[in-house]
Amino acid sequence: MATFALIHGGGGSAWDWHLLEPELRGRGHDTVAVDLPVEDESASLFDCADTVVEAVGDRGDLVVVAHSWGGFVGPLVCARRPAGLLVMVTAMIPAPGERPADWWRNTGFGHVDMTDPIGLFLHDVPKELAEESLARSRSHADKAMDEPWPLDGWPDVPTKFLLCTDDRFFAPGFMREVVRDRLGVTPDEIGGSHAPMLARPAELADRLTGYLTGRS
């Protein structure tokens, strides 16, 4: 049995994983999802990581799953305690010393139209669920966006990257290049939008557990 530590993205919360968690538990695994203290003006990136570590406690066989902005936090969790696997799900890949606020320019992200957030992030999520997701969104304090990423390099943990082929925010072509440049690997791919944990939780659970058995 593995323990999946689920790290939400920017503006998100532990609720983002509420459909994925029973899927993973139904496959015989444990899950931990917490609200990162992103609204706290005093909270650092390591404070976010420590929130996850404290929630995991003494559970073993840790798999860290980081979504979107949570990519700045997932590797820090792996630096705090041993993990068997880090899975980046359509996530930002930080570089040493890079501020989350600078990632967009540094990677050549470009411009996206934010006037229709459901169409951009959640276009394949059921309407009521997508609307609830937006209603639950949280703001980020400046510290969590402006602090340089504190590691000197990537943690010594096996890492997988799962991009979403229908993602209108982190477009597949863009993310394939970022993954190759920053991790030196070819990403794995799953269908769907920027929020596969809401759009296709069973399929995402299959992919995550498949990494443990070599089936993904």
Residue with tokens 């394949």: 124
Checking 113-122 for CB contacts under 8 A at 24+ apart, the result is 119/168, 120/168, 120/169, 120/194, 121/168, 121/169, 121/193, 121/194, 121/195, 122/193, 122/194, 122/195, 122/198, 122/199
9 vs 71: CA distance, rounded Å: 8
The count of C-alpha atoms lying within 13 angstroms of the C-alpha of 3, restricted to the half-sphere facing its C-beta, is 15
10 vs 161: CA distance, rounded Å: 18
Number of domains in the chain: 1
Backbone angles phi, psi at 192, to 5 degrees: 105, 180
Contact 170, 27 (CB under 8 A): no
Residue 198 is part of which domain span?
3-213
Partnered with residue 62 across adjacent β-strands are 3
Say which CATH number the domain at 113 has.
3.40.50.1820
pLDDT tens digit at each of 216 positions of the chain? 999 999 999 999 999 999 999 999 999 999 999 999 999 999 999 999 999 999 999 999 999 999 999 999 999 999 999 999 999 999 999 999 999 999 999 999 988 899 999 999 999 999 999 999 999 999 988 888 899 999 999 999 999 999 999 999 999 999 999 999 999 999 999 999 999 999 999 999 999 999 998 755
pLDDT value, residue 216: 57
Q: In what order do the strands lie in the sheet with 188-190?
A: 30-33, 3-7, 62-67, 85-89, 159-164, 188-190
pTM exceeding the 0.85 threshold for the entire prediction? yes
pLDDT value, residue 143: 84
pLDDT value, residue 215: 59
Query: Which residue type is seen at 124?
Result: D
